[in-house]
Chain A
Amino acid sequence: MSTNLVLIIALPLLGAFLLPVLMRSSMAIALWSGPAILIYGCWIIADLWLSGFAQPLSVAIGGFAPPLGINLYVDSLALLFAFAVQLLGLVFWPFTLDQESARRQSLMLLLVAASTGLALSGDLFNLYVFYELAAVATFGLASASGSGAAYVATLRYLILSGIGSVLTLFGIALIYSQTGTLNLAHLAQLAPEQLHNSLGLTAFLAILIGIGVKAELFPVNTWVPEIYATASTRLSAFLAGLLSKLALLIILRLLLLIFHQPEAAQVILILGILGVISGELAAWRAREMKRMLAFSSIGQLGMIFIAMALPDGKGMLAVLALSLHHLIIKSGLFMLAEDWGGALERLRGSAKASPLGAVLFVLFSLSLVGMPPLPGFWAKFVLITELAAQVEPLYLLGLAVFLLATVVEASYLFRVAATLYGSPAQDTLSEEIPKTKGLSLLTASLFGAGVIAVALLIAPVGDGLQAIAAQALDVDLYITTVSPAVSGGSQ
């Protein structure tokens, strides 16, 4: 049963390799093979979950027991994100029918396989390989729209991503040179002796900045607005909603398992605060829907970084709630932006033309700001209570920035809402008002339904998240799951 789990990485890769060939012989098979693989992936995970998944699993690849071989570590947190990857891959599937569709769908399958690997892998270098694969697939998909602006944005992203990769690799090499192992569980055992020093901190910083490129961490997020504004909306939604969270998940795991040092948390806290300030202020100034969403995404991820910096894993629940909340909301908002791209002024009076789209926008905005019955309120509430319980001034600064950011957020989101419901300017004809329509509106409605469902079922969802957080925090459980026989030092 659990060995089937490796299929959710292997089958998308297989599909990606074969799609260009299949496309030549039979269009129909090729068109449906991608979605079929993703549906099967969802089914495997759902099946595992429903058949009484309680204890985390470790799946050794190649039959070599870790730490010699590579293993997948499957706890409920990893499984949740793996499921989200397969599901969102399906939701954001590039259903286009042009000459490039085989290539685009291949890249999407590669991106899904890499993202699943990022969620599951229990080996530091293997994570890096999947991270690279996700990056390269993203370059192709981001430049696929073919406009000059998209090429420029992708080139910038490529350079920044390359620097990030080198830094990450440097950090991994430092860790390996100190410990002689790459397995996360093995490293978790060795870390207290060998990595809780300045060298370990350097390695952590290098990896943090490197992986932070994808997690939209403060100094290395300059690619975000350009890419989200020029790439296809579906890709932007996948990147902002999911891939950033997976990068975050890696940093979170490393922080919990290996770099359990106060200095590491402090760096994350400072970068998170700076990210919130810069992101929200830039979003406030943005005059274009997609750019505004991109900057707001930077701000939201900054908030998650603040939550991550809370000592002793107190922020775990907040990280989880904020991440999932942002995943749903930002995906939905990006789907609305598919038809509402361009200058915000153009949208004046759109609510009349597309009432459902406008209602959804208000719903997402309210949840993002944190209106009480909606899930966003509970996610933010958890973080505020944890932050307020801290005594260190830096955390209180984080709290102040967080509250201020919420006000700024409300200001720019409701400005857009007011534009939507305002009366159209006299000189524009009604045909010029952009409408939300078709598939993107349907997808956005799905996410809207998700938000309302979570709002109604907030108690069971909260309990579930609490259990997932508790399991993810248990370092001893991680170590004993991966290598039951190992006790202490080597082997």
Chain B
Amino acid sequence: MGSLTGLLFAGGLGFMLLAVASGLDFGAPPMLIGTEIQAHAPQQTGAANIVTSVVLGYRAIDTLGELSILFASAVSAGLVLGRRHTTAGTQTKGGFILQSGGSLLFPLMMTIGFYIIFHGHLTPGGGFQGGVILAAAFFLPLLARPGARLHHKSLSLIEGFAGASFILIGLFAMLEGKAFLQPMLIQDTLGQLVSAGTLPLLYLAVGLKVGAELASLLSRLIQTEAPQ
């Protein structure tokens, strides 16, 4: 009975989606806000990457919200996973090639991660993408040496202060008499590495927070999933 209801619901939803899709005018989106932002973004935020100017400028509080959602899910996972006691360290280590490969790749991936974060206001990429690569760099040693532990204390320090600095940068703008999260310190150097004022700092905070959060989440999962 339940599966039949589910099937009916899915079928009805699919039919509705088809009916709606047939009425949509693809390829000709109304660019009401879009054109406006494209015209003014470089002057108003100083970022050459218009996506960044939307993510950290026009809709910065959405980004703050998304950062909080990630934080909330990491904290919730900690609440659920933190109850079981770990018996990690009993697994066999990876072979020589895996371990050395991991050590070799680690600095390279850190470099790429930070490169993508620091160039978020110029090229495609930014804090979220770079942060994921940073976390992946920490995954490698964890996977090659299952007994190894990440330093949880410093990870949660980074996590907390990176998130806090995003908000503090926003509050700093308020101290200067501007609006919360208003882009500040915009230099007239569009397209340079040092440009777009506080936006790269915001992206650095995002990147560090995302990286630390995902890395600590994985290490927690590894510790919990160990055979009991």
Query: Do the beta carbons of A133 and B68 come within 8 Å of each other?
Result: yes
* A68 part of interface (Cβ distance < 8 Å): yes
Whether the Cβ atoms of A3 and B179 lie closer than 8 Å is: yes
Instruction: Mark the stretch among A104-112, A327-335, A359-367 that contacts chain B.
Output: A104-112
A-contact 0/1 string along B59-76, CB 8 Å cutoff:
111101110110111011
When distances are taken between beta carbons in the complex, the residues of chain A under 8 Å from B75 are 20, 103, 106-107, 110, 140
A113 to B69, CA, bound (A): 11
In the assembled complex, how far is the CB of residue A216 from the closest CB belonging to chain B, in whole angstroms? 19
Q: Does B46 contact A (CB under 8 A)?
A: no
The interface on chain A, measured as residues whose beta carbon lies within 8 A of the other chain's beta carbons, has a size of: 60
Contact bitstring A446-469, B, C-beta under 8 A = 1, else 0? 000000000000000000000000
B29: chain A residues at CB < 8 Å are 177, 180
Chain B residues with Cβ below 8 Å from A16 are 68, 71
Chain B residues with CB under 8 Å of A137's CB are 72, 76
The 8 closest A-B pairs by CB, nearest first: A140-B76, A180-B32, A180-B30, A17-B163, A129-B65, A63-B182, A21-B160, A63-B179
Question: Which residues of B are found within 8 Å of A144, using beta-carbon distances?
Answer: 79
A128 CB, min distance to chain B CBs, angstroms: 9
Q: Within 8 Å of chain B (Cβ to Cβ): is A18?
A: yes
1/0 per residue A147-188: CB within 8 Å of B?
000010000000000000000000000100111111000100
Cβ contacts B75-94/A at 8 Å (1 or 0 each): 11011101100000000000
Instruction: Chain A residues near B23: list those with CB within 8 A.
Output: 198-199
Contacts of A174 in B (CB 8 A): 20
Contacting pair A113 B68 (CB below 8 A): yes
Interface locus among B102-110, B112-120, B167-175: B167-175
The answer to whether A3 and B180 touch (CB under 8 A), given A17-B160, A61-B60, is: yes
Q: Secondary structure of the B side of the interface?
A: helix
Kindly state whether residue B8 has any CB partner on chain A within 8 Å.
no
Tell me whether A63 and B178 are in contact in the complex, defined as CB-CB below 8 angstroms, given that A21-B157, A70-B58, A113-B68 are known contacts.
Answer: yes
- Point out which of A9, A13, A126, A151 has the most chain B C-beta atoms below 10 A from its C-beta: A13
Task: Establish whether residues B82 and A14, one from each chain, have CB atoms under 8 Å apart when the complex forms.
Answer: no
Q: Which residues of A contact B183 (CB under 8 A)?
A: 62-63
Q: Which residue of B lies closest to A9 (CB)?
A: B61
Name the residue of chain B whose CB is nearest to the CB of A125.
Answer: B62
Tell whether, in the assembled complex, residue A178 and residue B62 are in contact, meaning their CB atoms are under 8 Å apart.
no
Q: Which chain B residues (95-143) contact chain A, with CB distance < 8 Å?
A: none
Contact A139-B76, Cβ < 8 Å, known A179-B30, A180-B29, A181-B32: yes
A33 within 8 A of B: no
Interface residues of A in 208-226 (CB under 8 A from B): none
Measured between beta carbons, the chain B residues less than 8 angstroms from A133 are: 65, 68-69, 72
The distance in angstroms between the C-alpha atoms of A355 and B171, with both chains bound, is 50
B148 interface residue (CB < 8 Å to A):
no
- Chain B neighbourhood of A20, CB < 8 A: 75, 156, 159-160
Taking a contact as CB atoms under 8 Å apart, the answer to whether B181 and A62 are in contact is yes
Contacts of A125 in B (CB 8 A): 59, 62
Q: Does B226 belong to the interface (CB within 8 Å)?
A: no
Check A14–B62 contact: CB distance below 8 A: no
B58 touching A21, Cβ below 8 Å: no
Q: Please name the residue on chain B nearest to A144 by beta carbon.
A: B79
- Binary interface profile of A, 402-424, with partner B (CB < 8 Å = 1, else 0)? 00000000000000000000000
Task: Name the A residues within 8 Å of B60 (CB-CB).
Answer: 61-62
Kindly list chain B residues whose C-beta atoms are within 8 Å of the C-beta of A68. 33, 36-37, 40, 58
Shortest Cβ distance from A6 into chain B, in angstroms?
Answer: 4
A202 within 8 A of B: yes
Q: How far is the CA of A10 from the CA of B51 in the complex (A)?
A: 23
- B72 cross-chain contacts in A, Cβ below 8 A: 107, 110, 133, 136-137, 140
A348 to B25, CA, bound (A): 65
B224 at the interface (CB under 8 A from A): no
Nearest CB of A to B126, in Å: 17
Q: How far is the CA of A103 from the CA of B75 in the complex (A)?
A: 6
Q: Which residues of B contact A178 (CB under 8 A)?
A: 30
- CA gap between A68 and B83 in the complex, in Å: 45
Chain B, residue nearest A140 (CB): B76
